[in-house]
């Protein structure tokens, strides 16, 4: 396997540099198609490089190969519904709260800059992947990857997002809403489709707010923020809708 040696030398020189590059791509405020493809490519190089680095140590080589093979098999396993959706809702709200204070950046979808639609979707992505790995549910992990890959707008979320959300209620203002209809994790989308917020429970909302310039919580009644005095459509993630 003479071809392995030059590949190994290349990996030894570059493998370490791939991690900060992957970090920059993964946490880039702007998650567009080239960034996604770049992150995928760099992640693949990290995996291949890790095998090449230990190639001459047979036991470590096969440990890594088996580990990656098990991971692939896990992701391809048949799906099953989450046993407890309330736990998933809690994970979603916790993920949203972890972005509290992150700066608002139009088109952003990460800790270093995030907008309203990127915020509610990034929180869902985080919750699905973490919960899927914790409960060994490949369907949740796959759904989290889907959310990452198919980032969309507030308007599309309010219109159903290909069946992933559905309407729960409409209201003239969030201050006048009947909160007995809501569950933590529900979304409020403006009638114009230009803004979206997420409900944490206890009449508390969280959003990447352009006026505040960061991710902020709001408690009802909220009389200063204009978004709380405008007609809203309340939608629910379908994956959070049971139990």
* CATH assignment of the domain containing 187: 3.90.1720.10
How much is the pTM? 0.82
What is the per-residue pLDDT for 211?
94
Q: What is the mean pLDDT of residues 184-191?
A: 96
Contacts of 69 (CB under 8 A, 6+ apart): none
Residue 50: CB atoms within 10 Å = 17
Model confidence pLDDT, tens digit, residues 141-187: 999 989 988 889 999 999 999 899 999 999 999 999 999 999 999 99
What is the per-residue pLDDT for 73?
84
Quick one: 56 and 120 in the same domain? no
Cis before 235? omega within 30: no
Overall domain count for the chain:
2
pLDDT averaged over every residue in the chain = 87
Q: Domain containing 46: what range?
A: 4-76
Q: Which of 8-17, 34-43, 79-88, 190-199 is least confident?
A: 8-17
CA atoms within 13 A on the CB side of 191: 11
Give the end of a domain, one of 76, 109, 124: 76
Residue with tokens 């020189």: 13
Quick one: 144 and 189 in the same domain? yes
Quick one: 185 and 207 in the same domain? yes
What is the per-residue pLDDT for 1?
45
Count the residues in the chain.
243
Q: Which pLDDT band holds residue 13 (cuts at 50, 70, 90)?
A: low
Quick one: 56 and 99 in the same domain? no
Q: Percent helix, strand and coil across the chain, each rounded to 5?
A: 55, 20, 30
Model confidence pLDDT, tens digit, residues 27-71: 777 767 787 788 888 888 888 888 877 777 888 888 888 888 888
Gyration radius (Cα) of the chain, Å: 21
């Amino acid at each position: 396997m003479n071809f392995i040696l030059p590949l190994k030398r290349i990996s030894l020189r570059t493998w370490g540099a791939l991690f900060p590059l992957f970090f920059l791509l993964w946490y880039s405020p702007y998650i567009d198609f080239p960034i996604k493809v770049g992150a995928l490519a760099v992640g693949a190089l990290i995996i291949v490089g890790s095998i090449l680095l230990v190639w001459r140590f047979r036991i470590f080589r096969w440990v890594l190969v088996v580990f990656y093979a098990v991971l692939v098999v896990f992701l391809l396993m048949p799906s099953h519904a989450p046993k407890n959706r309330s736990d998933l809702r809690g994970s979603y709200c916790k993920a949203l709260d972890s972005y509290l204070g992150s700066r608002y950046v139009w088109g952003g979808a990460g800790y270093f800059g995030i907008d309203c639609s990127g915020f509610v979707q990034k929180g869902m992505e985080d919750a699905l992947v973490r919960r899927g790995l914790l409960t060994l549910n490949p369907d949740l992990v796959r759904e989290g990857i889907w959310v990452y890959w198919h980032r969309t707008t507030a308007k599309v979320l309010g219109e159903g997002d290909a069946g992933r959300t559905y309407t729960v209620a409409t209201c003239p203002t969030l201050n006048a809403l009947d909160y007995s209809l809501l569950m933590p994790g529900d979304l409020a989308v403006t009638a114009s489709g230009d803004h979206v917020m997420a409900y944490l429970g206890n009449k508390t909302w969280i959003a990447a707010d352009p006026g505040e310039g960061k991710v902020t919580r709001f408690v009802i009644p909220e009389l200063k923020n204009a978004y709380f005095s405008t007609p809203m459509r309340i939608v629910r993630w379908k994956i959070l809708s049971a139990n």
